[in-house]
């Protein structure tokens, strides 16, 4: 890290900073500039409460140099990680397609949706059994009944099951039925949950929180990796900005950036990323064009009757047409869909 | 809610919307405008998957009219709620002062901090025993040992104990020692945790998530109220914006807005809300000037040695001077501090 | 518009709102709900100071229904507009490619860049002669000398010239040399400038301000259209958000949204939209995949020596490889590049 | 600045960076860390296209150390600047109060408003004659007629006249009537306008753009100072964030930050900063409590009839009550109002 001193910092203040740095077992290096002095601290400073140096007298600013994550870093592991879970393959040249309703509602609904998305080319089925809902008055999910219906749909179609787990006490139950445990955006920094899913043998789909930086996302992944589970997929589902014509703003450059910084695969969620069914297909096509490792899309037999997220769910026809567009682009850019 | 039809929507599409609305047990009301038709739906639509109407053919937009929260609403309960927990009194003309270190580190540290903040005028002691840390490599807290040290500090000083609970399985343990359970910003939408703290008899300090709207904050409070716990304090601790000279942007208008919309008291956290110790006192003073119901401030015996958040912690002297400024302003505006 | 009354609004307050609405020559329509009364105002309310109704006693909120822009609206003019300027063709199935350096620096530089981007497939040359620079200490552009060099490059290569105009008093001068006048992001709401370029016979490239909503962008376009100039291209160049791994956040859903709402063509600027050369090609490819009407890209013979924006400029090789990728995707989706 | 090399950067790449830095007449300083090498560049790098170094091979990131502004900096001029314009005094312990309608509408309106705000304690009159309006269909202002009415109000009341200038060609005209030229938020980076007002002898009120960083605001001020005009007041009027319960988010920490970084006075605009009349008084009181150097507030004889911004305008009574609260707080904190 680089400690920038204030313009009028005295040499005693510089010496105090040097002493603090050395008390952290780092080496210090003083550079006297024309207007300011900076002190570089050399060594692995990840475990230090480094920013506390900002409190030292005469310090203007502390600039970190090293990325705070390690196991997720591409510097540590240069080849991309491919995550395989049942029929789903994400990364390493494969773009996995996860599709299905927001919530599991009935046996008929989930089986019908599973057949439809399978026919259109999906390799995994999404569906919520435990639903994190902004309002306590909204539909909260079918819980274990929903999980059983998902498993039934997998038995029939061969699709991998992707479903959310909201709480540490549900991890074991959900892991019994699911191929992929989804950690939702609202729980991206629920560290106990990250540790708990990190101890399972299921693949994890970790969604970016709507105000999380990508560094924070990678640190959340680091919790899971550090707990022993290497099968982590990152998911961009849109961030909160001032824009209101979309429910969230979907920054597709996340794919480009993460492909440079991490070996973990990156999945795009155009449904939450736009919040409007009619905008979803374009964003899915764009994701495929830049070799995202997967897409996750909400599809419902009858969106206007959906118990949740109907406004952003595609009909079967819309999904099928979207997949046809995706396939053409995937072929053009050399991605397996 | 108001359903706005597209310009070219046909009368069959309008009729279809009317039928959908009536199937939700709401009354419909069609208004034909010069350019567009809108359909008003009359009745309590909070339990409906209302936005799904957006998926109906010919619909341009659905505009909700009713606030989605009820128990937190000032319309339901016009008089402000005062929350009392041990020596702490928040709301109803009292501005509670919660102060202490980010993390409990040692017996000496927490007892010293407790005495110092008490002497300067605080009525509650903050201190983290379970710490949600962005990085798995950072200090994670002393856990139960930390809780015991907090309780010891309460025994000596009479300060109420405010500490964070991060997970449902810790609720019982933390409630044994704490007067106020803090739900942190990262857990504002951890609904299981909200339900769990809603079942305790402890007061709750619910922090706003950095990208949560105030409506989402009130809905999170609604989970706790709905679970049976009426002693909820809301806390503004800053939102994520493009600004980088502060760690978060602290919107003090939150106090004004929430005082209009809810009866629950509003606490300001200028430490997280700015992220720099030297900016904290001004924001505390401003909060008092507009009759915020409480402030929560990080104070550490030696910020540059703190194991977490040192850069935003005040020294004892700084806190004491800040309190002197707050008292002068409180007297001028008629608030009890 | 819809006027939502407060829960406890009296019937005299409702009558007052009705009277205000009728004084604006709109029709009113009162709907009494179970919890609140709303008053719909029917008619073209675009010229009214409508939001002032919020000041009337008992009013909780005013919700506009009609889009505030007219001439830019697809409802008025359903077929997409194609803008042609010299060799550049933007919209109507053609994706125009505008490329070149941030600033015109020397004759050698601009001629070399023109030849290189032409060879790689561009149809227009960008280059700044008048430069809006955040700092008064930065290079401010070659002004008329730069314009002459751009025109020289056009004479040799046939590329259309796209260059920024910063001030009303330069409009005539810049229009003498340029095929397309660019209104920069910082000037998107410089209404005098919008009116001035609206009176020229040059095509206009109007960049979105980094915190402008799309409605504000369309209203800015409306100023130009209203002044008599129909050849307006809209340009998305990224918005300001909390993300810092890119200089701006590029929301590609802008293309999808604007294609639905307006007949004007939409150009994507991946250079400013990411701020890092290595992220530019992916965003250009994604833009082509969703049928953006054009892309505008910074290319420099030697980015590390550029007088401005070197960090986001492609080398000739990088641009040429990017164009090859774009061509493959364009062919797959049926766009002419 | 600090140039951070990539982990795998070769020594030839480091040498190339050193050579580039020295070609800019800066000294270089190489520090080899355990994981990365960084190169510090020592000297005044403000006039260099420094960030272009990012394009050099092997470079991961370039971190600036020096603030890019100079004349606005408190390091250059430690004592706060007080700006005096007619009866208005802003800074140096005085909190100036600027109040009046958004737009000048009629002689009766502006004279009535001037008398009312004077009686309540304002020392300057605001009022728009040239109005930047988002929509071309909105009221655009009375132009010179409006300026004359403002001057008439000054003659009668002694209030200083504060009014916006939107374009370089109006500067001379507006300067003939006004004591303070306001540069609006939309024009904060209209550099030609900044230069033009910098050449007048009028005081300048420079409003922060809704997505401008404070560094960009100070650089905009630098344009004015650099053109020869030292009487610059900075104005915080709210930033664009995801919040929608206020029209903009008002970050009051701006006062604290700018008081540390610049000698220029800071004015708060709670009217635009909240966008709702009922929220304005609290934000004005908070601004006074932290010793902001001025406030600028919209006041209208009849807000529901205002031709612009009625929803955020106070009535005379509301303004007068707000001023009473401000005076009590000002007395408590030792500010002259």
Query: Which chain D residues touch A36 with a CB distance below 8 Å?
Result: 65-66
Best probe of the B interface among C31, C41, C48, by most B CBs < 10 A, is C31
Q: What integer pLDDT is reported at residue B76 of this predicted model?
A: 85
Contact of C321 with chain A, judged by CB distance below 8 Å, is answered with no
Could you give the 3-state DSSP secondary structure of residue B209?
Answer: coil
pLDDT digits (tens, 9 = 90+) for D223-238: 999 999 999 999 999 9
Nearest to D311 among C54, C168, C309 (CB): C54
| Interchain pair C65, B36: CB under 8 A | yes
> Nearest-CA distance from D256 to chain B in Å?
6
Contact of B279 with chain D, judged by CB distance below 8 Å, is answered with yes
Q: Judge contact between B206 and B199, C-beta under 8 A.
A: no
Rounded Cα–Cα distance for residues C51 and D323 (Å): 26
Q: What integer pLDDT is reported at residue A140 of this predicted model?
A: 85
Residue with the two structure tokens 């899913």: A197
Nearest to B34 among C4, C31, C42 (CB): C42
Nearest to C49 among D55, D191, D308 (CB): D308
Q: What integer pLDDT is reported at residue D126 of this predicted model?
A: 98
How many other CB atoms are found less than 10 A from the CB of residue A46?
16
Q: Chain B residue closest to A240 (CA)?
A: B211
pLDDT digits (tens, 9 = 90+) for C191-244: 999 999 999 999 999 999 999 999 999 999 999 999 999 999 999 999 999 999
Q: What integer pLDDT is reported at residue D48 of this predicted model?
A: 59
Q: What integer pLDDT is reported at residue C193 of this predicted model?
A: 96
Contact of A135 with chain D, judged by CB distance below 8 Å, is answered with no
| Interchain pair B256, D239: CB under 8 A | no
Beta bridge partners of D161: D125
pLDDT digits (tens, 9 = 90+) for C48-89: 555 678 888 899 888 888 888 999 999 889 999 999 999 999
Nearest to D279 among B246, B257, B286 (CB): B257
Could you give the 3-state DSSP secondary structure of residue D55?
Answer: helix
Listed in order, strand segments (DSSP E) in chain A are: 2-5, 27-32, 37-42, 59-63, 83-85, 88-90, 96-100, 124-126, 160-164, 180-183, 203-207, 232-236, 266-268, 294-298
For residue A214, what are the CA distances in angstroms to A251, A262, A266, A307, D321?
A: 11, 11, 12, 32, 47
Q: What integer pLDDT is reported at residue A48 of this predicted model?
A: 59
Query: Which chain D residues touch A2 with a CB distance below 8 Å?
Result: 2, 38, 63, 65
- Domains of chain D by range and CATH? 2-63 (3.30.70.1140), 83-333 (3.20.20.70)
pLDDT digits (tens, 9 = 90+) for C267-318: 999 999 999 999 999 999 999 999 999 999 999 999 988 888 888 999 999 9
Rounded Cα–Cα distance for residues B147 and A195 (Å): 22
> Nearest-CA distance from C37 to chain B in Å?
10
Q: Judge contact between A303 and B55, C-beta under 8 A.
A: yes
- Subunits next to A (3 or more Cβ pairs <8 Å) are B, C, D
| Interchain pair B42, C34: CB under 8 A | yes
Backbone angles phi, psi at A225, to 5 degrees: -60, -45
Query: Which chain A residues touch B52 with a CB distance below 8 Å?
Result: 303-306, 309-311
Q: What integer pLDDT is reported at residue A310 of this predicted model?
A: 84
Q: What integer pLDDT is reported at residue A50 of this predicted model?
A: 58
Q: Judge contact between C307 and C103, C-beta under 8 A.
A: yes
Contact of D54 with chain C, judged by CB distance below 8 Å, is answered with yes
- Subunits next to C (3 or more Cβ pairs <8 Å) are A, B, D
Contact of A136 with chain B, judged by CB distance below 8 Å, is answered with yes
| Interchain pair D307, C49: CB under 8 A | yes
Query: Which chain C residues touch A245 with a CB distance below 8 Å?
Result: 213-215, 257
Contact of A35 with chain D, judged by CB distance below 8 Å, is answered with yes
Contact of B4 with chain C, judged by CB distance below 8 Å, is answered with yes
| Interchain pair D34, A40: CB under 8 A | no
* pLDDT > 90? residue C2: no
| Interchain pair C329, A329: CB under 8 A | yes
Rounded Cα–Cα distance for residues B105 and B307 (Å): 7
- Subunits next to D (3 or more Cβ pairs <8 Å) are A, B, C
Best probe of the B interface among A17, A52, A105, by most B CBs < 10 A, is A52
Q: Chain B residue closest to D259 (CA)?
A: B279
Quick one: pLDDT band at residue D308, thresholds 50, 70, 90? confident
Q: What integer pLDDT is reported at residue A132 of this predicted model?
A: 83
Contact of D260 with chain B, judged by CB distance below 8 Å, is answered with yes
Query: Which chain C residues touch B36 with a CB distance below 8 Å?
Result: 65-66
Residue with the two structure tokens 């890290």: A1
Contact of B256 with chain D, judged by CB distance below 8 Å, is answered with yes
Tokens found for residue A72: 């997720």
How many other CB atoms are found less than 10 A from the CB of residue D301?
18
What mean pLDDT comes out for the span D97-101?
A: 98
| Interchain pair A279, C253: CB under 8 A | yes
Tell me the average pLDDT of chain C: 94
pLDDT digits (tens, 9 = 90+) for B271-283: 999 999 999 999 9
Rounded Cα–Cα distance for residues A112 and C221 (Å): 46
Q: Chain A residue closest to D247 (CA)?
A: A242
Q: What integer pLDDT is reported at residue A63 of this predicted model?
A: 84
pLDDT in tens, chain A (337 residues): 889 999 889 999 999 999 988 888 888 889 888 888 999 888 877 665 556 788 888 998 888 888 889 999 998 899 999 999 999 999 999 999 999 999 999 999 999 999 999 999 999 999 999 988 888 888 889 999 999 999 999 999 999 999 999 999 999 999 999 999 999 999 999 999 999 999 999 999 999 999 999 999 999 999 999 999 999 999 999 999 999 999 999 999 999 999 999 999 999 999 999 999 999 999 999 999 999 999 999 999 999 888 888 889 999 999 999 999 999 999 999 999 9
| Interchain pair C252, A333: CB under 8 A | no
**Cβ partners under 8 Å of residue B52, min gap 6:** A303, A304, A305, A306, A309, A310, A311
Contact of B67 with chain D, judged by CB distance below 8 Å, is answered with no
Q: What integer pLDDT is reported at residue C140 of this predicted model?
A: 85
How many contacts does A have with C, using Cβ atoms within 8 A? Answer: 120
**Cβ partners under 8 Å of residue D150, min gap 6:** D104, D110, D125, D127, D129, D161, D163, D177, D178
Q: What integer pLDDT is reported at residue B48 of this predicted model?
A: 59
* DSSP H helices in chain B: 11-23, 107-120, 144-157, 171-177, 191-198, 214-226, 253-261, 270-274, 280-289, 316-333
| Interchain pair A311, B138: CB under 8 A | no
Query: Which chain B residues touch C38 with a CB distance below 8 Å?
Result: 2, 40, 65
pTM for the structure as a whole: 0.95
Contact of B210 with chain A, judged by CB distance below 8 Å, is answered with yes
- As averages over each run of 10 residues, the pLDDT of chain B (337 residues) reads 89 93 88 87 70 84 85 92 97 97 96 98 96 84 95 98 95 97 96 96 98 96 96 98 96 98 98 96 98 98 87 96 98 96
pLDDT digits (tens, 9 = 90+) for B189-236: 999 999 999 999 999 999 999 999 999 999 999 999 999 999 999 999
Q: What integer pLDDT is reported at residue C309 of this predicted model?
A: 82
């Amino acid at each position: 890290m680089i400690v920038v001193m204030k313009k009028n910092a005295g040499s005693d203040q510089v010496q105090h900073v040097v002493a603090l740095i050395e008390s952290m077992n780092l080496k210090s290096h003083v550079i006297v500039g024309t207007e300011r002095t900076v002190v570089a601290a050399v060594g692995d400073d990840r475990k230090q409460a480094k920013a506390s140096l900002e409190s030292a007298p005469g310090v203007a600013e502390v600039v970190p140099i090293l990325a705070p994550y390690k196991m997720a870093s591409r510097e540590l592991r240069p080849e991309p990680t491919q995550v395989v879970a049942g029929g789903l393959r994400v990364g390493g040249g494969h773009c996995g397609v996860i599709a299905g309703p927001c919530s599991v509602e009935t046996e008929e609904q989930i089986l019908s949706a599973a057949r439809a998305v399978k026919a259109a080319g999906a390799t995994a089925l999404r569906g919520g059994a435990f639903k994190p809902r902004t309002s306590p008055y909204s539909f909260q999910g079918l819980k274990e009944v929903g999980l059983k219906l998902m498993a039934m749909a997998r038995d029939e179609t061969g699709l991998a099951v992707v479903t959310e787990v909201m709480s540490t006490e549900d991890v074991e139950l959900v892991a019994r039925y699911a191929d992929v445990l989804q950690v939702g955006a609202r729980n991206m920094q629920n560290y106990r949950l990250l540790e708990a899913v990190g101890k399972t043998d299921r693949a994890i789909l970790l969604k970016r929180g709507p105000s999380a930086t990508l560094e924070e996302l990678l640190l959340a992944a680091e919790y899971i990796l550090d707990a022993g589970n290497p099968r982590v997929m990152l998911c961009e589902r849109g961030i909160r900005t001032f824009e209101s014509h979309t429910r969230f703003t979907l920054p597709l450059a996340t794919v480009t950036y993460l492909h440079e910084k991490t070996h973990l695969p990156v999945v795009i969620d155009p449904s939450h990323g736009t919040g409007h069914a009619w905008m979803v297909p374009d964003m899915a096509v764009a994701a495929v064009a830049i070799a995202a490792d997967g897409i996750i899309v909400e599809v419902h037999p009858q969106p206007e009757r959906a118990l949740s997220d109907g406004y952003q769910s595609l009909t079967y026809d819309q999904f099928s047409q979207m997949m046809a567009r995706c396939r053409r682009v995937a072929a053009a850019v050399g991605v397996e869909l």
